[in-house]
């Protein structure tokens, strides 16, 4: 019934032959010499949509059609060989297209190469940004922040983890490369050798993924396993981010360029992860407030111990101008200005 309905509708416009193989319906369609690929695909797309609607409404069966490009029989050489070659090329594309439909869980009942997701190259891609995201991803897994790792992996997968090709098989292969990066970044040579069987099983799970959901589940298992191997139960706990970031701020607070973005770049983590980790580790304030507090504290010392102007002190503690210091000072010192603070101190003396 499914074959006959589709075949009958197609044969109203084209000479066609359809057959079933491994629960898939394949069709070879003869197109007139003057018809372009766009015209043929647009017309066949309409036919397939009507057939899909008819079968779904009457039989409750949902079908998905993939329409290949137009493969014409070359006029030179043996006609039979050229016809077989054209059919083979169309079949190869059909196999590739069906892999994308299944792998990317496409919901549109009729697709073709130009309408598939993730198959177009974006111009002017930021290679340095992609490299940074890979490092951030590795750092997130190492810190056990799997939520952040998931976000970064999805972004990498969308943009291209290592290259522009976005077919499902390529995304899967690039995910395997990302897994290898995790392994070499977080495990010692001894651990890699010792856990060879387990790591092989994890890479096999990624390689066997047939759609995005399975791929996401496989890479998450790999992330959690690598984190567990890197942080065994008896391992010494890593120094909290609040301590490490605080130490970095202490050494660079006088730099006007110090910011959340520059700190995140230094530690090779995303800004959102830095903000969450800093608060989670018990610092009690945001990264920006911590920077301002350190600068204001230093300004208070200079106000007491030197005759420098507010502008000079602002520059010494990392502010671009006096106004920036005054604003931060008033906010953190209950409305008191640097000048008022200095005067109050002088009166006490």
Phi, psi of 135 (to 5 degrees): -65, -40
CATH of the domain at 52: 3.30.70
Residue 41 belongs to some domain of the structure: yes
Q: Are residues 160 and 250 in the same domain?
A: no
Residue 236 lies in a domain: no
When pLDDT is averaged across residues 109-121 and rounded to a whole number, the result is: 70
Domain boundary among 115, 146, 164: 115
Distance between CA atoms of residues 229 and 24, nearest Å = 43
Q: How many domains does the chain have?
A: 3
Average pLDDT, the chain: 81
**Is 245 found in the same domain as 216?**
no
Specify if 65 maps to a domain: yes
Pair (87, 10) in one structural domain: yes
In a domain, 20, yes or no: yes
pLDDT digits (tens, 9 = 90+) for 4-35: 777 778 887 888 887 777 667 788 888 877 78
Instruction: Look up residue 198 and give its two tokens.
Output: 């387990």
Residue 231 has pLDDT above 60, yes or no: yes
Domain assignment present for 22 = yes
Does the pLDDT of residue 338 top 90, yes or no? Answer: yes
pLDDT band at 291 (very low <50, low <70, confident <90, very high): very high
Report whether pLDDT(192) > 60: yes
Asked whether residue 221 falls in the same domain as residue 260, the answer is no
329 and 245 within one domain: yes
- Predicted confidence at residue 117, as pLDDT, reads 65
CA distances to 121, 245, 275, 298 from 284, in Å: 44, 13, 11, 20
Query: Residue 2: its pLDDT value, please?
Result: 63
Q: What is the mean pLDDT of residues 43-71?
A: 83
pLDDT of residue 243: 83
- pLDDT band for position 233 (50/70/90)? low
Domain boundary among 208, 230, 252: 230
333 in the same domain as 247: yes
**Domain co-membership, 176 together with 262:** no
Q: What is the mean pLDDT of residues 129-150?
A: 84
Query: Do 131 and 212 lie in a common domain?
Result: yes
Is pLDDT above 70 for 163? no
Name the domain boundary from 115, 150, 169: 115
pLDDT at 121: 42
Shared-domain flag, residues 17 and 106: yes
Evaluate whether residue 120 is within a structural domain. Answer: no
113: which DSSP letter?
G
- Neighbouring-strand partners of residue 67: 112
Give the ranges where the chain is alpha helix by DSSP (H). Answer: 2-11, 37-59, 79-103, 127-142, 146-159, 168-186, 189-194, 196-207, 212-230, 241-252, 260-267, 271-280, 287-305, 310-316, 322-332, 338-348
Residues 158 and 255 in one domain: no
In a domain, 278, yes or no: yes
Query: With pLDDT > 70 as the criterion, what percentage of the chain qualifies?
Result: 87
Residues 144 and 205 in one domain: yes
Structure token digits, residue 37: 């690929």
* pLDDT(345) > 70: no
pLDDT of residue 294: 93
pLDDT at 282: 61
Mean pLDDT of 147-166: 76
This prediction has a pTM of: 0.46
DSSP letter for 282, please.
T
Residue 275 has pLDDT above 80, yes or no: yes
**Is 5 in a helix, a strand, or coil?**
helix
The CATH number linked to 308 is: 1.10.10.60
The residue range of the domain holding 297 is: 241-348
Give the separation between CA 166 and CA 182, rounded to whole angstroms: 21
- The confidence band for 124, taking pLDDT boundaries of 50, 70 and 90, is very low
Residue 122 lies in a domain: no
Give 80-96 pLDDT, tens digit per residue.
777 787 787 888 788 77
Q: From CA 101, how far away is CA 288, in angstroms rounded? A: 46
Choice among 102-111, 134-143, 153-162, 220-229 with the minimum mean pLDDT: 153-162
Distance CA 161, CA 169 (A): 13
For residues 111 and 149, state if they share a domain.
no
Quote the pLDDT of residue 299.
94
């Amino acid at each position: 019934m499914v074959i006959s309905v589709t075949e009958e509708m197609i044969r109203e416009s084209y000479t066609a032959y359809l057959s079933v193989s491994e629960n898939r319906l394949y069709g070879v369609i003869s197109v007139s010499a003057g018809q372009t690929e766009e015209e043929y695909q647009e017309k066949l797309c309409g036919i397939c949509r009507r057939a899909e609607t008819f079968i779904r409404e009457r039989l409750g069966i949902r079908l998905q059609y993939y329409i290949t490009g137009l493969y014409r029989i070359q006029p030179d050489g043996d006609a039979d060989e050229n016809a077989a070659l054209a059919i083979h090329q169309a079949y190869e594309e059909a196999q590739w297209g069906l892999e994308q439909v299944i792998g990317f869980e496409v919901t549109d009942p009729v697709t073709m190469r130009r309408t598939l997701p993730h198959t177009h190259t974006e111009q002017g891609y930021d290679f340095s940004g992609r490299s940074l995201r890979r490092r951030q991803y590795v750092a997130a897994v190492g810190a056990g922040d799997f939520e952040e790792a998931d976000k970064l992996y999805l972004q990498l997968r969308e943009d291209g983890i290592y290259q522009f090709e976005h077919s499902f098989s390529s995304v899967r292969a690039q995910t395997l490369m990302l897994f290898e990066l995790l392994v070499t970044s977080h495990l010692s040579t001894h651990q890699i050798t010792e856990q060879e069987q387990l790591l092989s099983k994890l890479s096999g799970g990624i390689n066997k993924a047939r759609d995005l959901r399975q791929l996401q589940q496989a890479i998450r298992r790999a992330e959690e396993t690598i984190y567990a191997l890197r942080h065994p139960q008896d391992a010494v706990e890593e120094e909290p981010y609040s301590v490490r970031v605080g130490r970095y701020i202490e050494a660079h607070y006088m730099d006007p360029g110090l910011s959340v973005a520059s700190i995140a770049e230094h530690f090779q983590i995303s800004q959102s992860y830095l903000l969450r980790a800093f608060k989670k580790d018990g610092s009690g304030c945001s990264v920006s407030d911590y920077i301002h507090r350190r600068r204001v504290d230093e300004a208070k010392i200079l106000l007491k111990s030197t005759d420098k102007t507010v502008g000079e002190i602002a520059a010494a503690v990392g502010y671009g101008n006096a106004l920036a210091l005054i604003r931060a000072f008033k906010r953190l010192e209950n409305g008191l200005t640097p000048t008022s603070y200095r005067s109050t101190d002088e009166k006490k003396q």
